[in-house]
Amino acid sequence: MERAARPAVERPAPAARRANSHDVMTTFSTSSELGRHVGQTVTLRGWLYNSRSSGKLHFLEVRDGHGIAPCVVSLRDVGEEAFRAAGGLAQETSLAVTGAVSAHPKRPGVFELQVKELAVIGAPRAPYPISPKDHGVEFLMDHRHLWLRSRRQHAITRVRHTIVKAIRDFFDGRDFTLVDAPIFTPNACEGTSTLFETDYHGQPAYLTQSGQLYMEAAAAAFGKAYCFGPTFRAEKSKTRRHLSEFWMVEPEVAFTDLEGVMALAEDFLCFIVERVLETRRPELAVLERDVAKLEAVKKPFTRMSYTDAVAEVARLRAERTAAGGAAPAAPTAPATGEGAPEAADEAPAVERELVWGDDFGAEDETLLSQRYDTPVMVHRYPAAVKAFYMKKDATDPRLALGVDVLAPEGYGEVIGGGQREDDLDVLEAAIAAHALPPEAFRWYCDLRRYGSFPHGGFGLGVERTVAWICKLPHVRETIPFARMLHRLSP
RNA sequence: UCCAGCUUAGCUCAGUCGGUAGAGCAGGCGGCUGUUAACCGCCGGGUCGCAGGUUCGAGUCCUGCAGCUGGAGCCA
């Protein structure tokens, strides 16, 4: 689909590089376009991903950023000197190979190059650290700058790209205006989470944990608005679902209610999944993702009140105990050549009874979300466990009009949101009840002071969404350079 | 912060009852005309995380520390 701009060094003359040119030797191509050049001679530039040899034949897998093309070097075609050189190339040598394109004799739909010329652009100065066998998580994360080259990481990153594009297309297509929220904030948006503190010209400032409050201001200005950017949490979380720096998209809509927010979240997730299925089948195949599970993500999603969910969790826990007491299976990815880390066995959690008023634990979310093929929308939580800005349910003031969307297959919360408190007096009382500094929220209260309006929105965590759609065991593989409790480099 | 597990070659791991270090990959050399993490033969490669203890003797047992991994809490 997208085609990268070609750097200047690749340029002979633009006209000579057109795919329809039958001009041999000057047609540059990419591995993903080889099928359009059968019978022609093209040049590929890339890196040696792996090679095998069979006496008078070398098989080079050339990785060019788009895909990996099999290239066959025959002693008969290139002569003894070039043949020997081709056999001695180290992994990740950058090179240019020129040859005729043909269909792969054994793999339908795969095209290979019968090499006539091979030029080394840059030979590695040391053996490439990531060999084609298994590696551990720590080693791979230490070499993240190189790990990105691997087939599996390439596939994940391209799915992430498509998800990010789908997010923008969805909101842009529905007349939302992009309103960027600040990264530096003077105080905790929600007053609860642990934030990263910085020195802002002599006064403390915090890295944002949410753009939501700013989006409420944007909703009053634009009707429908969203922000999309990095978000920071300083909690010392060490789990497969947490990063210190992650990306979040936060739409906010004027004149809507909880039902409207849920309908938007539902359409949004369906749009993202459909887009990935439309454009990233090859990448999902590399990841050995069961696409039937994604194809099942269709409207309507299961909607369940918190009160019903508590009963459901209690039932599921009892069922599990009866079935042998095993903890719910954690999401795992198939182990592949690049050493996909296996999820460790779940430690059985200390099981205290879940009573009405408690928030769900991670295990409860897993239990619930494994139960259904579609995401599950759990709504109307106890107000006591939710943020101060959530609007109370008029029919039961113990409840807040919030919703969490749990992704299927045990992935848990990918969206959190709801309807906001739009009554100035109630909001000011909530700020006082949470012991928050009223002056810091004066501008936020202004939104209710000058033409208040019912409104709501949600936040979607990009990395958790990528992990779910790719069925990855850990969010650290969903972002190019993860920032975690014990990971600040590369 | 708490709980559990792990730490042996560049990488992934094995190492029995406490008796003095082993495989695969990567690297080097050689072989093979359709390989798919190719395969076959040969070669080089070790401060067994660190500190202390028990013992005639510790990779192995004990104590402490460090690092990592997973989980809890918090959350997207």
Prior bond of A490 cis (ω within 30°)? yes
pLDDT at A82: 87
Q: Is the CB of A196 under 7 A from strand B?
A: no
Contact A162, A154 (CB under 8 A): no
pTM assigned to the model: 0.87
The percent of residues in chain A predicted with pLDDT above 70, rounded, is: 87
Residue nearest to nucleotide B1 (CA to C1'): A236
Where residue A193 falls among pLDDT bands split at 50, 70, 90? low
Nucleotide nearest to A193 (CA to C1'): B74
pLDDT at A18 over 50: no
Contact A421, A310 (CB under 8 A): no
β partners of residue A376: A302, A406
Helix (H) or strand (E) holding A377: strand A376-382
Helices (H), A280-389: 281-286, 291-295, 306-322, 362-369
In the 357-376 stretch of chain A, whose C-beta falls under 7 Å of nucleic acid strand B? 359, 361-363, 365
Contact A175, A293 (CB under 8 A): no
Q: How far apart are CA A345 and CA A329, in angstroms?
A: 8
pLDDT at A320: 73
The tens digit of pLDDT for each residue in A435-482 reads 888 888 999 999 999 999 999 999 999 999 999 999 998 999 999 999
Q: How far apart are CA A177 and CA A480, in angstroms?
A: 27
Tokens of A188: 């905790």
CA A47, C1' B76: Å apart? 37
Burial letters A315-346, b for 16+ CB under 10 A, else e: ebbeeeeeeeeeebebbbbeeeebbbbeeeee
pLDDT at A384: 85
The tens digit of pLDDT for each residue in A216-245 reads 999 999 999 999 999 998 888 888 889 999
In the 374-413 stretch of chain A, whose C-beta falls under 7 Å of nucleic acid strand B? 385, 412-413
Q: For residue A178, count other CB atoms closer than 10 A to its CB.
A: 14
Contact A15, A21 (CB under 8 A): yes
The predicted complex's ipTM stands at 0.84
Contact A22, A40 (CB under 8 A): yes
Residue A25 is given by DSSP the state: S
In the 286-315 stretch of chain A, whose C-beta falls under 7 Å of nucleic acid strand B? none
More confidently predicted of A324 and A343: A324
Contact A421, A389 (CB under 8 A): yes
Which positions in strand B are less than 7 Å from the protein's CB atoms?
Answer: 1-4, 10-13, 24-29, 31-39, 67-76
pLDDT at A333 over 60: no
Q: Is the CB of A54 under 7 A from strand B?
A: yes
Q: Is the CB of A329 under 7 A from strand B?
A: no
pLDDT at A10 over 50: no
- Residues whose CB is less than 8 angstroms from the CB of residue A266 and which lie 6 or more positions away in sequence, other chains included: A299, A300, A301, A375, A377
Tokens of A369: 């979300």
